[in-house]
Amino acid sequence: MFESVLKIKPIPDETSYGLVMALGNLLGARSYGEALTAVFGDARGGLIDPLDCEPNRLAALLGKVSLEEPGELLLKHSLWPYFIAFHKVGIAGLIEIAASTVQARGVLGLNGSQLVAQAWRAKYCPVCAQDQLENHQRTTWIRAHQLPGVAVCFRHGNFLVNSSLPLGKAGDLRAEIEFPEVASISVASVRDSYLDSGVWSINNPHLLLAQVSHAVLGSNFRFSDQSKVRLLYGRALHRHGLISGKAIDWSGIELFLRDCYGELLAKQLGGEFKGVGFRKWLGGMIHGTQYPRQSFRHVLLLGALFDRLPSVKEVELAMPIAGCDNVAHHQRPIFCSEKNKDRNAIRSKIRALIQEKPDLRRTDLRKLLGWANYEWALKYDTEWLDLTVKLVPKCRRRDGSRAGADWGGRDMRVALIIQKLPLGQKARLRRGRSSINLSELARITNNSQDVLRRVIKQPATKAELQKLRLGWN
């Protein structure tokens, strides 16, 4: 267990403050404050910071553990790899920032909203504690249990237990050190029961969040390239039918996340999960300049879109989808008000209609589905609709050509009507100095204005209208 009197061997994934408490206990400390004083020389105003990276404190701790470099201590025994997983700074850059300022968190933009509050008490899993006791002869707090929003053990699935170890400025450091207590059940019966396959447990929201957070903690900064991450998200959203070349289905994404996490989202995110707040931070992950680097936001999306952590190769090879430019989505239609329809409900209705009538045509679908729902599907779910309800080709003439509107016949008929109009009606066709009153002409010829806009460009009608203009002048 111990390499020398003053050095202790860390347990894999052990937190830095777990090392401090173990060292303090070895040096005779009885309380949390005494342990801080024994290791660092002072209790630092009663603060145990999970993101502590001050060089002098790292040096003091590094001299008492069997590690060679400060970077190794931060990479393997701090929460920093999780919080800067979506930054380009890396561990080396973090150490450089920490050497020049005590506000490394602020410099990296981590003082703002993380969507979930950092826990004020260190948490532990009793089953993991028993495993530690069997293999390392002591128990400690591990990093993956302390991540934001995590309530269960990523390995065993049981709810975590709050210890008396205070984090941050809250809590009494005079309390006696209480290391994690072991479970009363057999470790072998539950050990690694959820991680054997490497696939996330999508049917348990708490466990899913814990597993994705743990995976991001050990992701080794593969998500540091913002452009690649956005392409990765774009392809996944497109695969799930939530983004296309025309728009982002905000309501569909919200429903998708609710199906994945249930009430866990509403409970933890509150107002930020709805309306403008939700679209603002989620939109920043897909397009625009406000790219959120708070890891918890990315954890939510990764857990919903993937069944495992994307590999380094998958991130590097992420490519844009043809006709689906993530960067330009903020200029495209966004679902709001009456456009916030349930995509899955409309698709289910269409499938049911097709099942009843396999040869369903678009015209019949519009009547049976309802004009509003059909227009919504036609405009915002075009790709799926085209694949599901095929467009019936127009009838063909005997010579094989497509049957279409007889614009020549329409041209002759309208021209003849204009030619035979009385002078009074011809006068009513005048608008302004020499313009044609299209609405009056539509009424006289019994045509729509859209049809007439094309007819008046045909040769016979154009010639008759020219004669009228010459008469007016």
- What is the predicted pLDDT for the residue at 153? 92
Asked whether the beta carbons of 145 and 160 are under 8 A apart, the reply is yes
- What is the predicted pLDDT for the residue at 128? 92
Greater pLDDT, 43 or 52:
52
**Average pLDDT of the segment spanning 242-268:** 72
- What is the predicted pLDDT for the residue at 324? 52
- What is the predicted pLDDT for the residue at 393? 52
- pTM passes above 0.75: no
Asked whether the beta carbons of 96 and 53 are under 8 A apart, the reply is no
Q: What percent of the chain clears pLDDT 70, i.e. is strictly above it? A: 79
Model confidence at 192, pLDDT cuts 50, 70, 90, reads very low
**In whole numbers, what is the pLDDT of the chain averaged over residues?**
78
Per-residue pLDDT reduced to its tens digit, 201-229: 777 888 888 999 999 999 988 998 888 89
- What is the predicted pLDDT for the residue at 105? 74
- What is the predicted pLDDT for the residue at 213? 92
- What is the predicted pLDDT for the residue at 193? 45
- What is the predicted pLDDT for the residue at 244? 65
Q: Which two tokens stand for residue 254?
A: 């919200």
The pLDDT of residue 271 is above 50:
no
Greater pLDDT, 42 or 377:
377
The pLDDT of residue 143 is above 90:
yes
CB contact set of 328 (below 8 Å; sequence gap of 6+): 287
Model confidence at 255, pLDDT cuts 50, 70, 90, reads confident
CA distance 145 to 66: 23
**Average pLDDT of the segment spanning 342-355:** 83
Q: Which two tokens stand for residue 63?
A: 């001299």
CB contact set of 25 (below 8 Å; sequence gap of 6+): 35, 177, 179
- What is the predicted pLDDT for the residue at 262? 75
Model confidence at 47, pLDDT cuts 50, 70, 90, reads low
Model confidence at 197, pLDDT cuts 50, 70, 90, reads very low
The pLDDT of residue 54 is above 50:
yes
- What is the predicted pLDDT for the residue at 470? 82
Greater pLDDT, 465 or 247:
465
Q: Which two tokens stand for residue 406?
A: 């007889």
**Average pLDDT of the segment spanning 65-92:** 88
- What is the predicted pLDDT for the residue at 269? 54
Domain boundaries, the chain: 16-189, 226-338, 341-388, 409-472
Most confident range, picked from 141-145, 345-349, 427-431, 452-456: 141-145
Greater pLDDT, 109 or 143:
143
CB contact set of 172 (below 8 Å; sequence gap of 6+): 166
- What is the predicted pLDDT for the residue at 125? 93
Model confidence at 444, pLDDT cuts 50, 70, 90, reads confident
- What is the predicted pLDDT for the residue at 180? 92
Give per-residue burial for 189-199: e unless 16+ CB within 10 Å, then b.
Answer: ebeeebeeeee
Most confident range, picked from 15-29, 263-277, 308-322, 393-407: 15-29
User: Which residues, in sequence order, are bridge partners of residue 282?
Assistant: none
CA distance 302 to 310: 9
- What is the predicted pLDDT for the residue at 277? 64
CA distance 250 to 268: 20
Per-residue pLDDT reduced to its tens digit, 36-45: 888 888 766 5
**Average pLDDT of the segment spanning 38-61:** 74
- What is the predicted pLDDT for the residue at 185? 57
Model confidence at 2, pLDDT cuts 50, 70, 90, reads very low
Q: Which ranges constitute the DSSP H helices of 101-240?
A: 104-107, 126-136, 205-217, 226-239
Give backbone dihedrals phi and psi of 310, rounded to 5 degrees, phi first: -55, 135
